[in-house]
A and B are shown apart, each in its own frame.
Chain A
């Protein structure tokens, strides 16, 4: 068990200085809770012609869930919804310790250390669960 694998520099950077942490007007909003720890993420997406025009989030959580949400908002901006779903599936495989196509994941690969910490996988996936729920059309008003 190596803490440095989990808390890589890029993760600490995103958790301490989260990107796009604000509400988004006229956006699709999905709020998800992690009932075991009280973490809470609201993901905002604006979609234009099937492409993610903008993404942001609000919420409270541990460094892993905040960094993951912050990186998500950067990663999905400009992606067609279908590609955002592909990215989400690749990320899910990565943190769950399955073979994943890391070529498209970029900085998100830094969260792979979560694999060694089973209790923290759900922290890394909270924002991504919100993304998939939003795209699949099960919105949950904040």
Chain B
């Protein structure tokens, strides 16, 4: 996919036609949330107009349609991830809820004092804070895989760190702050060798690269709909069949029950026992449309194109005097985002200058305070790329950064 192709894809995203502060919008914050293609907007509109009903209960035609569409979205998600069955897909509110479900529904009931939960210091808060809580409540210990200076895993150290006390390894596929791509299959093998489960935060990888849960051999995998060009309010937890069976519900009520007595009840099978209450029906259907959109272009093609753009951005930014780029350097695989600082200009000031030029980037700690401490900086700027970004967007970013240097004489 070359740049002219990407300009055509850009037309699929109506929001990108708007301006910001009187200038054409350059949206470089897709790692926070992606924009939505027309296909998703049309699907939501059509379903609200024609197919809206609650699922799994009505006997009327409309309810059957809504249920079919919702369950079809589950099947689509399973196919998209290479999962053998839709029954291995739980719809949640997002990655955070998916990871909390694993932490409290799967891990907490089986962890003992002295057990170890292994993670890294570059996780998003959503893959750290739930584990801190589970560790506190069970007496398990949280341990951290060491990172090399470029943010990649020290695999030799990881082999020692993942030991017979390890019950669970939890890690991002692609780091939202450093852009590191972690060797998930290798970690799965290390975890399984000691009988531990591997949990993958795939929020940053599913939207931009082919993720095959069978090839990764992960036990659980979580991602958010809204970062994958779908609606907000829906997320996914994939689990191996027996792992989902062994996961306890955290929410109880309608939809998830089998038989209700006065003082006790029984649950449905997974995934439905983990979806109490009315689920995010239309959001899940919208996510299914987003995955259709991605499959229609081809994840390999998307991945190559966005990687090409990220490399172009890396080289362009590296040319700026005073820039510090964090994470893997050229020649090492990285996700589709760049995290950086420019001289001693505070990231918020950079983001404000860029904002005045119509360029949206993220400035701050990116829900990753512990990674900021590791980098030794209070905050950074992050520009993240998606299939609709072009080299012209990167050029505008570079011009904006030059303007910031000029203003702050950095």
Chain A contacts to B: CB under 8 angstroms? 1, 3, 6-7, 12, 16, 36-40, 60-64, 66, 117, 119-120, 123
Contacts and interface: CB of A to CB of B under 8 A. Distances in A.
B349 A62 contact: yes
B143 interface: no
A60 B353 contact: no
A38 B369 contact: yes
B364 A38 contact: yes
B365 interface: yes
Nearest to A39: B378
Contacts of A37: 347-348, 363-365, 379
Interface string B352-379: 1101100000011100010010000011
Contacts of A61: 346, 378
B390 to A, nearest CB: 24
Contacts of B346: 61-63, 66
Interface residues of B, number: 19
A40 B369 CA distance: 13
A54 B363 CA distance: 34
A13 to B, nearest CB: 11
B378 A120 contact: no
B363 A63 contact: no
Given A6-B352, A62-B347, 18 more contacts: A3-B352, A3-B407, A7-B349, A7-B407, A36-B364, A37-B347, A37-B363, A37-B364, A38-B365, A38-B369, A38-B372, A38-B378, A39-B348, A39-B378, A60-B378, A62-B346, A63-B345, A123-B348
23 contacts: A3-B353, A3-B356, A6-B352, A7-B349, A7-B407, A12-B408, A16-B408, A36-B364, A37-B347, A37-B363, A38-B364, A38-B369, A60-B378, A61-B346, A61-B378, A62-B346, A63-B345, A63-B346, A63-B408, A64-B348, A117-B352, A120-B348, A123-B348
Q: Which of A12, A62, A64, A120 has the most CB of B within 10 A?
A: A62
Interface in B328-359: 345-349, 352-353, 355-356
A35 to B, nearest CB: 9
Which 8 A-B residue pairings sit nearest by Cβ, starting from the closest?
A62-B346, A62-B348, A38-B378, A37-B364, A38-B379, A38-B365, A1-B21, A60-B378
A96 B379 CA distance: 25
B356 A1 contact: yes
Nearest to A36: B364
Contacts of A62: 346-349
Interface of B: 21, 345-349, 352-353, 355-356, 363-365, 369, 372, 378-379, 407-408
Contact of A63 (B349, B365, B379): B349
A7 B353 CA distance: 10
A118 to B, nearest CB: 11
A124 B28 CA distance: 26
Contacts of B347: 37, 62
B161 to A, nearest CB: 28
Nearest to A37: B364
A62 B353 CA distance: 12
B124 to A, nearest CB: 15
A117 B351 CA distance: 12
Contacts of B363: 37
B200 to A, nearest CB: 27
Nearest to A4: B407
Contacts of A40: 378
A66 B344 CA distance: 13
A38 B371 CA distance: 12
Scoring B348, B353, B355, B369 by chain A CB atoms within 10 A of each residue's CB, the highest score goes to B348
A103 to B, nearest CB: 29
A132 B150 CA distance: 42
* Chain A CB within 10 A, most for which of B363, B369, B378: B378
Nearest to A2: B356
A102 to B, nearest CB: 23
A89 B363 CA distance: 29
A37 B362 CA distance: 10
A120 B355 CA distance: 12
Nearest to B379: A38
Contacts of B355: 1
Contacts of A60: 378
Nearest to B344: A16
A12 B409 CA distance: 10
A38 B345 CA distance: 15
Contacts of A38: 364-365, 369, 372, 378-379
Contacts of B348: 37, 39, 62, 64, 120, 123
Most central of B352, B353, B365, B378 by chain A CB within 10 Å: B352
Contacts of A6: 352
B282 to A, nearest CB: 30
